[in-house]
Structure 1
C-alpha cells in the first residue's frame, strides 16, 4: 500500500493544482487572450482541457486509493479497470510547456500537471502489480 504521508502529500498537491487551474481558467484565460489569434486561443483552450483532464483523472484515482485506506473498498476493487487511471495518450503527452505561444501560467500548469500525472501513472502500475502478486501468491 502507498504510505499515508506520501498519499496525503500527493492528494494535497493535486488539490492545490486543481484550485490553481480553476483560478487560471476562470480569471486569466478569458480576459488575457482576447487579442490573440484564433489558432492560439484554440491551443489555449485545448491545453487548458488537458490540464483539467490530467488533474481530474489523478484526483479520481487518489479518491479510490483513499477509499481503500478507509476500508470502503478492497484493493482488488480499486485495482479494477473501473478505478484505473485513465486519460491515455492525451494526459501522458508531454507537449505544451515548450509552446511559446501559450501564456507562461498555462505552460507551468501543463508541466506540473504532466509530472504529477506521470508519477501517479507509475503508482497505478505499481499498485496493480502488487494487487496481482497478492492474488497469485
Structure 2
C-alpha cells in the first residue's frame, strides 16, 4: 500500500485547490504591508513603551512569517507550473522556515496591541501551521501515514480491521 500511496497534500498542491491557498497567502502579505505602512503605523504611536516594543518585535516576526509563507507558496507554484523541477524546489525549500514564533497573549503589552494587528498575527500563525503541515506531508508522506495510523482513531480502526481480516 505504501508504494501506491498518494499524498493528499501533494495532490492539493497540483490541483485547483492550491489557487485559493496561494491567493490567501499572497493577499495576507499585501494586507499586512498595507496595515503596517498605514493604520498600524498610526495606531502604534499611541502604545505604551512595553506595547510599542512588543508591536515592533511582532511586526518583524509577522513580516518574516509572511515572507516565508510567500516563498513556500511561490516555490510550489513554480513546481506546479513546470518552472522548477522537484529537485530545485526541494533545494530551495530547505531555506524556507515555517516556524516563526509569536510572543502571544501571555506577553506583557499584548492586550494593548491594536485588534487589527492581533488578528493579522493570529491569522498568519494559522496559515503558517496549515502550510507547515502540508509541507511535512508533501516531503514525507510515509511519516504522515505512520502518524495517521497511530494518532487517528479512524485509521486505527482501519488497521484493526485489516489485521482481523488478514489484509496487509
Give the TM interval when normalised to the shorter protein.
0.7 to 0.9
TM-score, with structure 1 as normaliser: 0.82
Q: Distance in 1 between matches of 2:71 and 2:30?
A: 15
The answer as to whether partners of 1:53 and 1:87 remain within 8 angstroms in 2 is no
Counterpart in 2 of 1:17? Answer: 28
Tell whether 2:104 aligns with 1:95: yes
The answer as to whether partners of 2:98 and 2:128 remain within 8 angstroms in 1 is no
CA shift, 1:93, in A, is 4.2
Q: Distance in 2 between matches of 1:94 and 1:40?
A: 12
The answer as to whether partners of 1:96 and 1:107 remain within 8 angstroms in 2 is no
Query: Number of residue pairs matched?
Result: 129
Tell whether 2:146 aligns with 1:129: no
The answer as to whether partners of 2:69 and 2:98 remain within 8 angstroms in 1 is no
TM-score, with structure 2 as normaliser: 0.68
Tell whether 2:80 aligns with 1:69: yes
Unaligned runs of 5+ residues in structure 2 are 1-9, 143-168
Counterpart in 2 of 1:5? Answer: 16
RMSD value, Cα: 2.4
Q: Distance in 2 between matches of 1:42 and 1:102?
A: 10
Q: Distance in 1 between matches of 2:41 and 2:75?
A: 33
Q: Distance in 1 between matches of 2:26 and 2:15?
A: 16
Deviations 1:10-48 (A, max 9, x none): 110011111111111011122222232222111111111
CA shift, 1:116, in A, is 0.3
Deviations 1:50-94 (A, max 9, x none): 1111111011011111111111222232223x3233053xx1447
Q: Which moved more, 1:93-102 or 1:119-128?
A: 93-102
User: Considering only CA atoms, is the larger Rg found in Structure 1 or Structure 2?
Assistant: 2
